[in-house]
Amino acid sequence: QVQLVESGGGLVQAGGSLRISCAASGRTFSSYYMGWFRQAPGQEREFVAAITWSGGTTYYADSVKGRFTISRDKAKDTVYLQMNSLKPEDTAVYYCAARNGLYYKGKYDYWGQGTQVTVSS
């Protein structure tokens, strides 16, 4: 059974940093894209970043490019999202997801339960 478990969310001041983690288990993810998405209250869920599990190629939404960094540790089966220069508009529930496909865009097959990130002004 595939499990994606996020951790590391919390409250941080604007301009601060936070790293959230996603521990993956239940299958081999070598052919997968691992993504981070977020959903703010009253808004639709949006793409944040993705990485290929095998080669580490990364993709970012324009709104976080240059501030956020996605990475993965194969030995720990964990994906990270390092968030720097945080803004109040980054406040959302952040979800980890996995997709077995040819590109990072499209339907994701597995989702975590989410972790809350709150940025105070």
Kindly report the backbone phi and psi dihedral angles of residue 20, in degrees, each rounded to the nearest multiple of 5, phi listed first.
-110, 155
Instruction: Tell me whether residue 34 is exposed, middle or buried, using C-beta atoms within 10 angstroms of its C-beta: 0 to 12, 13 to 18, 19 or more.
Output: buried
> CA separation (Å) from 46 to 27, 28, 74?
26, 26, 25
118 DSSP β-pair partners: 11
Q: What is the pLDDT of residue 102?
A: 87
- What tens-digit pLDDT sequence spans the chain (121 residues)? 899 999 999 999 999 999 999 999 998 888 899 999 999 999 999 999 999 998 889 999 999 999 999 999 999 999 999 999 999 999 999 999 999 988 899 999 999 999 999 999 9
